Structures are given as structure tokens and as C-alpha cells.
Amino acid sequence: MKTLIITGGAGFIGSHVVRLFVNKYPDYQIINLDALTYAGNLANLSDIENCPNYRFIKADITNAEAINKIFSENTIDGVIHLAAESHVDRSITDPLSFINTNIIGTVNLLNAAKDAWKGCNFEGKRFYHISTDEVYGSLGDEGFFYETTPYDPKSPYSASKASSDHLVRAYLNTYGLPTIVSNCSNNYGPNQFPEKLIPLFINNIKTKKPLPVYGKGDNIRDWLFVVDHARAIDLIFHQGEIGETYNIGGDNEWTNLDLILKLCEIMDKKLNRASGESKNLITYVKDRAGHDKRYAIDFSKLNAALGWKPSLNFEEGLELTVDWYLNNVDWMENVISGEYEKYYTKQYVNR
Ligand code: NAD
Ligand code: TYD
């Protein structure tokens, strides 16, 4: 029997990882450790919340004492660390929250794992840190990010994630803590907080609000369906080599504008609107400060080592995603109203 902590399990990617592990590994105990910030939503996990191998613990990773207590009260075999402040625009207006959660929070977890596991000399233990391709900086028209690409983060978000990646590797080098890191491209899919491009634009198209395109809309992102990221995390956690870094990507580059036009086209059909109606909502707004031009991941190492590749093409993934948001109106309304946060915080506090 294995007991794993998945941090940030109430968030977008974390909830898909928790669901996959709870369903696929009935003899594991999965602890979802999450502070339930504005981005954390236990409604993302309502389908598995009563499973006997699932437990939620409300805790803030910036609180070292609380984290140490969880490690001393439970025998933890592995950590999959996703908890983070994750939105670039918020990092521009409030960098300190990113430093606190992404850097200090990560160090608190590393310390707790190191102290709890040193007695058994780290035998059978694993600390897996989930990171982003944004640590590599910004690409021009050509080239890809490889695991060997030097770090060159350019936003407070990516700089805080880069710092946490360095610290994770330093704990392996210095203390022998068995760590693995993966760096993934932009995710999309169900349960993403509607401040990120795709869910925000789906909701704005639906409600006929302006679609705020930063700059000229010519920035490029490499999009991956969130369940494919969760599959990669499962493989890397179980079969990845300690000390290695794995890039995960979609092989799926889109300029923001082309992606938005595609989304408008899909939604016009689904909402029975005249073809071309929704694209009239596109509004060009001031560019994001320091906006990274292009991200593109080379994931051939992961493909060669563990046989992973994306399972869905983008059209299928986008259709599934649009359908999910259109069919889950209550989820969107609760998230936007902030009601879910109050409700779930009250329910789970002190549990
Ligand atoms: P998210 O913002 O949707 O979720 C973050 C979760 O972490 C939330 O549930 C939140 O409550 C929790 N959290 C935040 N601060 C916390 C704290 N101090 N203590 C405990 N819990 C806290 O983020 P996401 O998009 O699901 O990203 C998850 C991870 O994957 C992050 O580490 C992010 O850097 C990384 N990542 C994201 C993407 C992407 O496209 N979204 C791509 C690559 C990597
Ligand atoms: P986002 O979803 O915030 O992810 P990231 O910044 O981590 O890549 O943004 C994706 C792209 O879409 C990015 O180039 C910024 C752009 N964007 C807009 O043009 N308008 C918006 O309202 C948002 C949220 C993003």
C-alpha cells in the first residue's frame, strides 16, 4: 500500500491527476493537499470524493509547521507537487504571492519530505515536481525547448517556477532526496479557471462579451489536453528515473489569433449562431508586459524513454472542452460568483 500526497489537487491539472490516481490505483491512499485558494475547487473532484482511497487535507504549503505535521502524522511514500500560483497576469500585479507559494512553499515540502524520509535513507520514496516550459523563456520563430535548454524565465511566474525547479534539483544533489521534474506546455480542458485564455474565451463567446486579445494575437503556444498531461505524470512518477527532467508537450503550436478564430468557429456551430458571428467579439487590447513570444516543446526524450505521446488531436480536444463548459454551466457560474470557495471552505475546514 502506498500513500501519496498530491499537492494542488483541487486545481485544474491537479484534479485530473487525483482522479486518474484514485481510479487507477485502488490500493494507493491519495491525499489531496490543497489550500483552496481562488483557483482550488473541490467541486472538480465531486465524482471521486467518497472513494475510500481518497482524502482531502486543507493546508497551505507556505505554512511549514502544518506541512511537517502532515508528514509526521502519515507515512508518506511519494509527493506529486502541483500546488502553485499559476497565472502570469496575476504574477505581474502580485509577484510576492508567487514567491511565497512557488518558492517557499516548495522548500517547505522538500524539507518535510527530507526530514520524514531520511530515517529510511529515502528507500522507495519519490518527490515529483510539476513545472512549466515557461522556465526556458521565449523562442523566436524557430527551434524548440529541450531538457538541456538553459533556463531564462521572463515573468515573475516563470522565475518563481524556475527557482523552485532549481531547489528541487539542489535537494537531490545536496541531501540525496529522490526527485524528478517535468516541464509541460500550456494545458487546456475541463475545470480550468476562467482567467486562462481558453475557458475565458469560451465563456465570453457564450455570453457575447468582448474577447480581449493581447497585442496582435501573434504569440504562439503549444497546447496539450490536460488528461494527456495527467497520463504523462502517471508514467513519469512510476517509471521516470530519479534525477531526470522530462519535457511534455502537445506538438501543437497555434498563434493566439488562429486559436481564437477556431474556437469562435466551433462555438458558432454549437450555439447555432451564424457562421462568423462570434469573431466580431474579438477586441485587441494592450499587450501583456514582457509577453513571451513563442513556446514549443520537444518531448522526444519522454517519447523514447517511456513511450508517451499525446492521445488527442487539437480539434477533438477543443470540441470536448467546449462541450464540457457548455454542459457544466453551474460549475462556471459558481466559479465566477466565488460561491464555491465560500461553500467548500466552510465544509472542509477542521476536517
Ligand atoms: P491552478 O491554479 O488551477 O491550481 C493550483 C492549485 O494549487 C489550486 O487548487 C490552489 O488552491 C492550490 N494552491 C495554491 N497555492 C497554494 C498553497 N499555498 N498551498 C496549498 N495549495 C495551494 O494551477 P494548474 O494550472 O492546475 O497548474 C498546476 C501546476 O502545473 C502548477 O505547478 C503549474 O505551474 C504547472 N503547470 C501548469 C500548466 C498550465 O497550462 N496550466 C502548464 C505546465 C505546468
Ligand atoms: P494564458 O492562458 O494566460 O497562459 P500563459 O500565459 O501561461 O501562456 O495565455 C495564453 C496566451 O493567450 C498568452 O499568449 C496570453 C494570451 N491571452 C490573451 O491574448 N488574452 C487573454 O485574455 C488571456 C488570459 C491570455
pTM to 2 decimals? Answer: 0.97
CA pair distance 192, 205, nearest whole angstrom: 16
CA pair distance 115, 281, nearest whole angstrom: 54
Helix (H) or strand (E) holding 132: strand 126-132
Write out residues with Cβ below 6 Å of ligand 1: 7-8, 10-14, 34-37, 39-40, 60-62, 82-86, 101, 105, 130-132, 161, 184, 186-187, 193
Number of other residues whose CB lies within 10 A of the CB of residue 176: 14
Whole-number mean pLDDT of the chain? 96
Helix (H) or strand (E) holding 4: strand 2-7
Please list the residues that pair with 33 across neighbouring strands: 7, 57
Q: Residue 325: helix, strand or coil by DSSP? A: helix
Q: Which residue has the cell 524520509?
A: 117
The ligand placed nearest to the CA atom of residue 66 is 1
* Segment 161-214, tens digit of pLDDT: 999 999 999 999 999 999 999 999 999 999 999 999 999 999 999 999 999 999
Residue 348: its pLDDT value, please?
47
Residue 231: its pLDDT value, please?
98
User: How confident is residue 337, by pLDDT bands cut at 50, 70 and 90?
Assistant: confident
For the chain, domain boundaries = 2-187+224-251+291-312+344-348
CA pair distance 163, 153, nearest whole angstrom: 9
Which has the closest alpha carbon to 264: 336, 213, 191, 215? 213
Report whether pLDDT(351) > 80.
Answer: no
Residue 322: its pLDDT value, please?
98
Helix (H) or strand (E) holding 57: strand 54-58
Closest residue (by CA) to atom 21 of ligand 2? 197
Residue 281: its pLDDT value, please?
98
What is the average per-residue pLDDT within 337-342? 68
* DSSP code per residue over 162-173: HHHHHHHHHHHH
- May I ask the CATH class of domain 2-187+224-251+291-312+344-348? alpha beta
CA pair distance 292, 91, nearest whole angstrom: 14
User: Is 284 part of the annotated catalytic residue set?
Assistant: no
Q: Which residue has the cell 475541463?
A: 190
